[in-house]
Chain A
């Protein structure tokens, strides 16, 4: 038998979820492609939870409700540090998917090629997970365990993505590479956030997607580039420098070797953007 619930309050949602395991539905853009005429099983639809929708400033950070759509993220005026996230929001699927698809769904779907993840990694994103026992926060990097695997426990709901104040400074960018213009699964993509001081990187965060089981921050490379001017930093980004952190595979979209070459180039271009 199947059931469907679309509660308006978090308490009710958590009760339903603890009563029995459910498929948690938000925008539907990842669940429906695998469904028949209807989505079977017990379904818990989170889209009526008003708390889960929208972007607001909280003490300590910016809070993006898990059911906030990519269009809303793209269209909301946000600090320059989120420019990369907003750029990604405009390149996830087509307009229709951006209008339905949510940030929380993108994270829970845990695709290695999720365009939303690298920009969030450079924003030091945390996820807020709620359960009847309360809520916990976890770094996004720890939440994503592997392809289609997350740290979401049974009975837990991803309620929000929190971007800490410390990460809302500086500027960011997102560079996506695919084999066609729109509606394309990335071959690779890179996100960068930086703060410059005297023409040199004072802070720098780098992340690359689709080159490892989950998108990765490149802490080692960041450390090596801090203190350098952008052009010099760009020159230091080599495939060898990435190969410690990334393990791209061959698939129908590209070879692993090409992915590494491309990731390095996207990072160099992002770094050069910082000089502009």
Chain B
């Protein structure tokens, strides 16, 4: 027995002495607040205090804490109480997966130093990674723990209020993610994965292996009862849940083991013989003549090509006063959410229940049902708290595997990906090779553009078609471009599956277009911001797809940046050996699916006892729909936001609010919530025979309607239950009006676009090629700001991911499958960020609101590259811009 003091109480464990403390806490002592992100000391999410010192519980043998005091996020202390309140007040927790580690690292700091500076906090938290927040709000919270507790929720209209997250209390207590809930006795699942990019394999004596002690069952492709092919876009579905030979990428699942709860992992002895085959490692190889086909029905290994053609770009370029031409290539980028994929499953009667981290519960339900040959209603998806998604948790991962085992064995089961497994087997941002030309006339007005992009879509389709379609639509940027020819093709390789990642290829395209626009502005002799403003799309302009723009906010964003731009350009001289630069880039981004329906439905009910219930199916992956959707619903209904009880997401309890993707939840689900709120309000007013101006009040289970001096009470308990079992309810849907794109990519692919522009100030070390970001100023048009606190959080987090994309992130299969070789920004890599929230209301958005989640990532990387060029002349042709690449580009530029 190993005894120690845990959160002030004496505890003992029978664990092996070298068992990881993280494992002991979670598996033996039931404290799941300590999160596991990497088991390698790379992410800090398992930070606990041992005798007051922060350590990674995953690196600590439990024997070393014998007789000592261990404190976890479940501890109660005055410092933790103040920290929790500060985290909520500052919006420092988004998805919440890093929050326990952040809180504990901060607790150690505050114990040593009750009033730290930002710089001290930055150092102290430098060992905890966060992928959502961009760290600035976390650092601010740690430096401001003396403030008051959370303010009461507003009674009146909550639109535009800086509301702390309504689900925040759980986040700062250690929320329940995919790995944190399982049934007693649940089987533990382990996947056998391909160690090769392309390999045939032969399975050995499976029955003999399955008879080993501790092995409950073994499953292979033969055991998949339904369509062993999933894919988010049904007509392209091609990815097996468990692959038959050959495996087409490193990390592909080829067999699944179901193990008894405490069994040792026998994976190393699994009977399989591998025969590595030649692999197509790049699109160039895959498109070469006579290259073997990865999927026989896709000639040239081409998944799809998207096109937009408007006017005659070649002629326009030939007649242009200035033309610039260039190319740039980007890498595989890993989502690197701190929560690896995880979940559990069990049967409830005939119903298969799967609780897992996801961005798309209904899509999971459909995919899993198809793979398992079940009718959809027999699969229930209960999303856990999601520790970051950013696009990758739109595709299924653990869901069909969990479902298969629960269905076939009848026993509950659980599965948690290791960090390496998560990185190897799930989707990536598409590497892009982009080339083209842009021209302008003598006055600096854009005349035409030619663009060709080749995207490495990896072994299976995933969201490749979306990337190929979104890129040509967006590649002009938010600028009036009378003539455009743009093509983007997605090419299969034996690389990791490229899928959705915040922006669907648009961030890559923006890197190309915005860096070329800087050169074009220079050629035209114009200031780079003024060049962009001169060309900015305005209301009534037609986009490259022929969409006549409305509520076009790009000019307002650029104008908001102008004083900052002028200040920065006139700014102080560089330190010796440093070169200061300022860069700018814009973005636009269509909210919702491209030229396809994507409805959301929201239900609101009032129970007979006067409880107000919001069926909120818009999965909150940290971005804030659990707060923003209630704010919108409350405003439309006219009851305080604090009255809502939230239900869901849960496919059995919530109507389909679509996927958390494409920056659509605030806009599309928000519109549905607005409609549901308004419909319920209408129903109440009719019952009360009151006019639109009446005010509603809900207290002690009683609903009161007041109009002038007239008060009318509605006795909810006297009303008959409606179809949903409520005294009163409303369910409304919204589907954004779009039109399909024709063969030239002409049409109205989105109902709403959001706009933004960011400005980066930095210093480049002229000898080392390293750089220091000094400040980023971000102007984003949100149409109507529903919650400024959460909006800033989105901006700061998107910028952090843009910094990673620009400067350090490079996923190399088999080489950077961990979080110390694959680098994402730390506390010290994100500079101060000033957010300028612009409101150009959109007629389609709820209260005028537009989407924001992806927009915020798009301008960052090109603005950084433009600032590097401004500082040094260096033009990068390959990302990430690691120091050696910057230095080489500086030398090439001769500066």
* Residues in chain A within 8 A of chain B (CB atoms): 2, 4, 6, 25, 27-29, 32-33, 35-40, 43, 45, 47, 71, 90, 93-97, 99-100, 177, 179-185, 187, 252-255, 257-258, 261-262, 265
Chain A residues, Cβ within 8 Å of B126:
94-95, 181-183
A25 and B18 form a contact (CB under 8 A): yes
B105 touches A182 (CB 8 A): no
Knowing A25-B61, A177-B768, A252-B812 touch, does A95 contact B123 (C-beta < 8 A)? Answer: yes
A52 to chain B, nearest CB (A): 14
Contacts of A33 in B (CB 8 A): 39-42, 59, 818
A45, A71, A185, A265: the one contacting B821 at CB < 8 Å is: A185
B56 near A265 with CB under 8 A, answer no
CB-CB contacts below 8 Å: B39-98 with A? 39-42, 44, 47, 50, 53-56, 58-61, 63-64
Q: Which residue of A lies closest to B808 (CB)?
A: A179
B827 at the interface (CB under 8 A from A): yes
- Contact A93-B127, Cβ < 8 Å, known A37-B19, A99-B53, A180-B808: yes
A-B contact pairs, 17 of them (CB 8 A): A6-B63, A28-B61, A32-B20, A32-B39, A32-B41, A38-B20, A94-B128, A95-B127, A99-B55, A100-B59, A180-B826, A181-B829, A183-B42, A183-B44, A183-B820, A185-B821, A261-B767
Which of A25, A94, A255 touches B884 (beta carbons < 8 Å)? A255
Of A2, A29, A179, A257, which one neighbours B41 at CB under 8 angstroms? A29
For A262, what are the chain B residues with a Cβ–Cβ distance below 8 Å?
768, 883
Partner of B23, one of A38, A180, A257: A38
Contacting pair A95 B54 (CB below 8 A): yes
Say yes or no for B222: interface residue by CB 8 A criterion.
Answer: no
Among B56, B826, B829, which residue has its beta carbon within 8 angstroms of that of A96?
B56
Main secondary structure of the interface of A (DSSP, over half): loop
Please report the C-alpha to C-alpha distance between residue A69 and residue B256 in the assembled complex, in whole angstroms: 42
Closest-CB distance, A188 to chain B (whole angstroms):
10
Are the CB atoms of A100 and B39 closer together than 8 Å?
no
Given the known A-B contacts A6-B63, A45-B61, are A181 and B19 also in contact in the complex, defined by CB atoms under 8 Å?
no
Q: Inside 8 A of B882's CB, which chain A residues have their CB?
A: 179, 253-254
| In the complex, B166 has a CB within 8 A of chain A | no
Q: Which residue of A lies closest to B884 (CB)?
A: A258
Give complex CA distance A194, B689 in Å. 89
CA distance A96 to B807 in the complex (A): 25
* Residues of B participating in the A interface, judged by any CB pair closer than 8 Å: 15-20, 23, 27, 39-42, 44, 47, 50, 53-56, 58-61, 63-64, 105, 108, 122-129, 265, 767-770, 807-808, 810, 812, 815-816, 818, 820-821, 823, 825-829, 882-884, 887-888
Interchain CA distance A47-B17 in the complex, whole Å: 13
A97 to B47, alpha carbons, bound, how many Å?
A: 10
A265 and B63 contacting across the interface, CB-CB below 8 Å: no
Contacting residues, chain B, for A93 (C-beta < 8 A): 41, 127
Chain A residue contacts of B108, Cβ below 8 A: 95
Residues in B neighbouring A185, C-beta threshold 8 A: 820-821
Chain B contacts for A100, CB-based, 8 A: 55-56, 59-60
**Contacting residues, chain A, for B810 (C-beta < 8 A):** 252
Q: B265 to A265, Cβ gap below 8 A?
A: no
Tell me the complex Cα distance, A37–B19, Å: 6
B884 touches A6 (CB 8 A): no
Pick from B56, B124, B887: contact of A97, CB under 8 Å? B56
In the bound complex, how far is the Cα of B822 from the Cα of A179, in angstroms? 11
Q: Quick one: which of A43, A179, A183 contacts B807, CB cutoff 8 A? A: A179
Whether B61 contacts A39 by the Cβ 8 Å rule is yes
Report the nearest A residue to B46, measured CB to CB: A96
Query: Is the beta-carbon distance between A265 and B768 smaller than 8 angstroms?
Result: yes
B127 / chain A contacts, CB cutoff of 8 Å:
93-97, 182-183
CA distance A6 to B17 in the complex (A): 10
Q: How far is the CB of A71 from chain B (nearest CB, A)?
A: 7
Contacts of B23 in A (CB 8 A): 37-38
Find out whether the CB atom of A96 lies under 8 angstroms from the CB atom of B20. Answer: no
- Closest residue of chain A to B815 (Cβ to Cβ) is A252
CA gap between A258 and B58 in the complex, in Å: 35
- When the two chains form their complex, are residues A32 and B55 in contact, meaning their CB atoms are under 8 A apart? no
4 closest residue pairs by CB, A with B: A94-B127, A181-B828, A182-B126, A258-B884
B20 neighbours in A (Cβ, 8 Å): 32, 35, 37-38
Q: Which residues of A contact B768 (CB under 8 A)?
A: 177, 261-262, 265
Q: Which residue of B lies closest to A255 (CB)?
A: B884
Are A36 and B124 touching (Cβ within 8 A)? Answer: no
- Bound-state CA distance A100–B55 (Å) is 6
Most A CB within 10 A of own CB, among B18, B41, B125, B827 = B18
B59 proximity list for chain A (CB < 8 A): 27-29, 32-33, 96-97, 100
User: Within the complex, what minimum Cβ distance (angstroms) separates B104 from chain A?
Assistant: 9
Alpha-carbon distance A90/B124, docked complex (angstroms): 10
- The answer to whether A180 and B825 touch (CB under 8 A), given A94-B126, A95-B108, A99-B53, is yes
Other than the given A94-B127, A183-B126, 5 more pairs (CB < 8 A) read A94-B128, A96-B56, A177-B770, A179-B808, A255-B884
A residues in contact with B828, CB < 8 Å: 180-182
Write the nearest CB–CB distance from A223 to chain B, whole angstroms.
Answer: 25
State A74–B559 Cα separation when bound (angstroms).
49
Least CB separation from B51: chain A residue: A99
A182 to chain B, nearest CB (A): 3
* Least CB distance, A136 to chain B, in whole angstroms: 29
Alpha-carbon gap, A258 to B42, bound state (A): 26
Nearest CB in chain B to that of A26: its residue: B64
B18 to A39, Cβ gap below 8 A? yes
Q: How far is the CB of B330 from chain A (nearest CB, A)?
A: 16
Q: B125 — which chain A residues lie within 8 A by C-beta?
A: 95
A142 to B883, CA, bound (A): 32
B1 nearest CB across to chain A (Å): 14
Cβ–Cβ < 8 Å partners of B15 in chain A: 38
Contact at A47–B64, with CB atoms within 8 Å? yes
**Cα separation A185 to B819 with both chains bound (whole Å):** 11
Residues on the B chain within 8 Å of A4, using CB = 16-18, 63
Q: Is the CB of B60 within 8 A of A265?
A: no
Give every chain B residue within 8 A of A95 (Cβ-Cβ): 54, 105, 108, 123-127
Residue among A47, A95, A255 with the most chain B CB within 10 A?
Answer: A95
Of the candidates A25, A37, A99, A187, the one whose C-beta lies within 8 Å of that of B54 is A99
Query: Least Cβ distance of B466 to chain A in Å?
Result: 29
Q: How long is the Cα–Cα vector from A187 to B882 in the complex, in angstroms?
A: 11
Q: What is the bound-complex CA distance between A29 and B127, given in angstroms?
A: 13
Task: Identify the closest chain A residue to B812 (Cβ).
Answer: A252
CA of A68 to CA of B589 in the docked complex: distance in angstroms? Answer: 53
Give the distance in Å from the alpha carbon of A254 to the alpha carbon of B888 in the complex.
Answer: 11
- Look across to chain A and name the residue whose beta carbon is closest to the beta carbon of B765: A265
Query: Taking the nearest CB of chain A, how far is it from the CB of B60, in angstroms?
Result: 6
Q: Chain A residue with minimal CB distance to B48? A: A96
Q: B64 contacts A45, CB within 8 Å?
A: yes
Distance from B112 Cβ to chain A, minimum over Cβ atoms (Å): 10
Q: A47-B64, A71-B53, A177-B883 known; A96 and B39 CB under 8 Å?
A: no
Bound Cα distance A262, B50 (Å): 38
Q: Which residues of A contact B17 (CB under 8 A)?
A: 4, 6, 43, 45
B827→A182 contact, CB < 8 A: yes
Cβ-neighbour of A43 out of B18, B60, B818, B825 (below 8 A): B18
**CB-defined contacts of B769 to chain A, threshold 8 Å:** 258
Q: How far is the CA of A93 from the CA of B20 in the complex (A)?
A: 19
Determine the chain A residues whose CB is within 8 A of the CB of B18 once the complex forms. Answer: 2, 4, 25, 35, 38-40, 43
A residues near B265, Cβ cutoff 8 Å: 36
Cα A4 to Cα B44 with chains together (Å): 26
Residues of chain A within 8 A (CB-CB) of B825 are 180
Q: How far is the CA of A40 from the CA of B125 in the complex (A)?
A: 31
Instruction: Verify A265–B808 contact, CB threshold 8 A.
Output: no
Known: A37-B23, A99-B54, A265-B768. A180 touches B829 (CB 8 A): yes
| Chain A residues whose C-beta falls within 8 Å of the C-beta of B122 in the assembled complex | 181
| Bound-state Cα–Cα, A207 to B660, Å | 52
User: Bound complex: CA of A252 vs CA of B822, how far in Å?
Assistant: 9
CB distance from B810 to the nearest CB of A (A): 7
Shortest distance from the beta carbon of A253 to any chain B beta carbon, whole Å: 7
